[in-house]
Amino acid sequence: MVSFSIRKIRKNLTKNSFILFSLVLILSCSDNSNSAEQIDKQKTYNWSLVTTWPKNYPGLGMAPERLARLVKEMSDGRMSITVYGAGEIVPAMGVFDAVSSGSVQMGHSGAYYWKGKIPAAQFFAGVPFGLNAKEMNAWVNRGGGLKIWRELYEPFNIYPIPCGNTGTQMFGWFNKEINSLEDLKGLKMRIPGVGGEVFKRAGGNPVNIPGGELYTAMQTGTIDAVEWVGPYNDLAFGFQQVAKYYYYPGWHEPGSMLELLVNDDAWKSLPPDLQAIIETAAKAVNQDLLDEYTASNNKALKELIQTHGVELKKLPEEVIMEFKRISEEIIEESLEDETTRKVHASFKDFLEEVSEYHSIAEDAFIEARSRSD
């Protein structure tokens, strides 16, 4: 009887020891996991971001600065991004290559600047007579555009994120009046993207010059006309000092989206929470920049007209319609490229759908609001 009790006690002790050992092992593994997580969350990241814009330039140049500030604050200092303006470490038009190669981790620019590398990239910046800012955001973020955009940039080791929109732009600054298509013949104008191709076929001579060089180019006569953004940015550059006529509408860039370019290898090296922080910060900047332009453009336009005597003019209808015809012709020709055809199909389908609704919503409302008693 005694011997049975001893055996039972030994058996229970062995069983309990096994359970205790298992608990210790589980807790140990849990501690190691938590420890590893803590170590990861203590790691800091110091990245560089290059831009196509002058350092601290209103709107465009401040957008990446806001992004850097938000990321640092939301990550509690775990991630710091140093922003460099155009020409500080890479040329304005060298942003894409610098990010692609991994020379820097980030860039901020506009997709139409890379049409020589990726013709279809222009759809993610501004297409003549295409999507406005609100529609562009909806297509990219909710209409399948972002997935296609990332597929487009993947071979270049770049992960693109929407990061700003300037809204509908102005056509630009001229020192001669545009009364007909004949007045465009031979004009040297800074105008990028598909808009530049349209201008060329209309008889003009498009050139692509970085923003920081535009004032001097106009002042010295290197160019005869300049398209930049709109009143807010154009006033800051002082174009009213070197040109007399300010033309609208901005048929060429109805809703110009800006992009945050991230080196894909660097992106994949980040923990998920920092990736989420960057994506969220970019979304905030994307909307904030559009709000800034919407709030600032009309004030700047009034100053240009009332204080500086700028003559605001609308392009003749025949010129606008010819630009539209040429735009459609160029887009149609670009569809020979399979990738461009895929992007265009998504873009066009979304434009048709959203336009149908807007005709009885936003468009009808604006018409009713503008109607005089």
**CATH number assigned to the domain comprising residue 302:** 3.40.190.10
Here the tokens at position 115 are 């049409």
Average pLDDT over residues 23-28: 42
One domain for residues 216 and 322: yes
User: Is the model's pLDDT at 139 over the cut of 50?
Assistant: yes
pLDDT digits (tens, 9 = 90+) for 53-77: 999 999 999 999 999 999 999 999 9
User: Is the model's pLDDT at 35 over the cut of 60?
Assistant: no
CB 251 within 8 A of CB 128: yes
User: Is the model's pLDDT at 157 over the cut of 60?
Assistant: yes
Mean pLDDT of the chain: 91
pLDDT digits (tens, 9 = 90+) for 95-118: 999 999 999 999 999 999 999 999
Average pLDDT over residues 6-28: 45
One domain for residues 183 and 326: yes
Percentage with pLDDT > 90 across the chain? 87
Per the model's pLDDT, the better-predicted residue between 24 and 125 turns out to be 125
Q: What is the pLDDT of residue 188?
A: 97
Per-residue pLDDT band at 79 (split at 50, 70, 90): very high
If one counts the domains in the chain, the total is 2
Name the residue range of residue 227's domain. Answer: 172-254+297-337
CB 166 within 8 A of CB 287: no
User: Is the model's pLDDT at 344 over the cut of 70?
Assistant: yes
Per-residue pLDDT band at 40 (split at 50, 70, 90): low
pTM: predicted TM-score of the whole model, two decimal places: 0.87
Q: What is the CATH number of the domain that holds 281?
A: 3.40.190.170
Q: In whole angstroms, what is the distance from residue 327 CA to residue 332 CA?
A: 9
Q: What is the pLDDT of residue 38?
A: 53
Place of tokens 């692509």: 208
One domain for residues 85 and 59: yes
One domain for residues 140 and 69: yes
Closest CA to 183 of 205, 213, 204, 162: 204
Q: Kindly state whether residue 364 falls inside one of the protein's structural domains.
A: no
Q: In whole angstroms, what is the distance from residue 31 CA to residue 35 CA?
A: 6
Q: Kindly state whether residue 34 falls inside one of the protein's structural domains.
A: no
Burial class of residue 40 in the structure, from the number of CB atoms within 10 Å of its CB (0-12 exposed, 13-18 middle, 19+ buried): exposed
User: Is the model's pLDDT at 31 over the cut of 70?
Assistant: no
One domain for residues 154 and 66: yes
One domain for residues 157 and 218: no
One domain for residues 204 and 261: no
Closest CA to 261 of 140, 136, 150, 141: 150
Q: In whole angstroms, what is the distance from residue 364 CA to residue 32 CA?
A: 62
Q: Kindly state whether residue 142 falls inside one of the protein's structural domains.
A: yes
One domain for residues 268 and 313: no
Q: What is the pLDDT of residue 6?
A: 44
Q: Kindly state whether residue 115 falls inside one of the protein's structural domains.
A: yes
Q: Kindly state whether residue 223 falls inside one of the protein's structural domains.
A: yes
One domain for residues 227 and 179: yes
One domain for residues 128 and 274: yes
How many residues in total does the chain contain?
A: 373
CB 62 within 8 A of CB 56: yes
Q: Kindly state whether residue 10 falls inside one of the protein's structural domains.
A: no
One domain for residues 263 and 146: yes
Range name among 23-27, 96-100, 317-321, 367-371 with the lowest pLDDT average: 23-27
pLDDT digits (tens, 9 = 90+) for 216-247: 999 999 999 999 999 999 999 999 999 999 99
Q: Kindly state whether residue 120 falls inside one of the protein's structural domains.
A: yes
Q: Kindly state whether residue 345 falls inside one of the protein's structural domains.
A: no
One domain for residues 234 and 279: no
